[in-house]
Amino acid sequence: MIFINAQILDGDFRLRKADIEINDERIVRLADTLSYTEQDLVVDCAGYTIVPGFVDIHVHGGAGADTCDADADGLREMAKFLLTKGVTAFCPTTMTVSNEEIAKSLETVRSCMADKEGARIVGVNMEGPFISPAKKGAQGDEFIQAPDFDVFKAFYDGCGGIIRLVDIAPECDVRGDFIEKASKLCTVSVAHTATDYDGAKAAFRRGATHATHLFNAMSGMTHRAPGVVGAVFDTDTVCGELICDGIHIHPAVVRTAFRQMPGRICVVSDAMRLSGMPDGQGMLGVNLVTVKDGRATLEDGTIAGSVTNLHDELKNLVSWGIPLEEAVRAMTLTPAKEIGMDEEIGSIAVGKRADLVVLDENLEIVAVYH
């Protein structure tokens, strides 16, 4: 298949006119103009923009399904839904539930990783149980536990090493060895933490390189107490997740983060099962969540994940003044790097997977290829 006359975001995230040839799910040729024959399947993309397929590394559910349901059919419905939103690769994300439920969820995800229909599962994001009760957010407190590398290693080995990212509240790591050991296996993220600037910086020195849903469930930034947010801003080796639904973070703060952290923003959905569904109620881990007018909350008003998706977030970001190139990079190449898959996915380049999203002039999705 050859796409001609398209505007593309190339491997350097520059907009330019180019043709793309794909074969056997890979990009095999990329040039200003490609030759072709009558036998070739040619798609004229004049007036359209082709960007890399979106990579959501923090998504709990959608279309009525949740990762912690440990239901393969539900995961497949979630994958098919995500593909309609331009997501071609994702990490199903667990919650703070019992060890038995986590293990079962991990095994279910592994059983679905070879599926061809829907967005491709590329690993698991393990959010919880190693978090702080003081910043639990929408996580249930019954199963919160202190970081324990032996427990994590049992999860990791038990699922065949598909965990790509694990969260930790560093102040709860009593033994002080979790980050250093776990970072040799996957990306370690600071999350749901009451630690301060110094505590976060110490965690980064030990090997944490990621911050989960930046600004949310962590200490904020003031001029005298920079907190976790200030530590992330101040550490060039750390990427921060942003949920760009207009609810979790004010657009002005989003713009500030993009200016402060060029190339270090991961846009995520943090979506729960009611994403793609009408307003109503559904479970997130052990908690009942109510969704009204696009806002997901617990009974006490605590924000509980989101019902957004990366495509809607892309449109939000551009409307808030973030250049298209930067917005797309933050939901493609940067998250792919964070889970160690940037050689395979995340940008349009020869040899990479042909994960492509075709957008019209209004950033609406015309087609998704993967």
Catalytic residues: 270
Give the single-character DSSP code of 309: -
| Neighbour-count burial of 290, counting CB atoms closer than 10 A to its CB (0-12 exposed, 13-18 middle, 19+ buried) | middle
SS3 label, residue 222: coil
Helix 149-158, helix 99-112: angle, nearest 10 = 30
The C-alpha torsion from 286 through 292 and 296 to 302, rounded to 10°, is -90
* Look-up of token digits 């999705």: 365
Distance, in Å, from the CA atom of 339 to the CA atom of 52, rounded to the nearest integer, reads 16
* Gap between the Cα atoms of 45 and 51, Å rounded: 12
* Beta-carbon contacts of residue 362 (< 8 Å; ≥ 6 apart): none
Burial of 301 from C-beta contacts in 10 A (0-12 / 13-18 / 19+): exposed
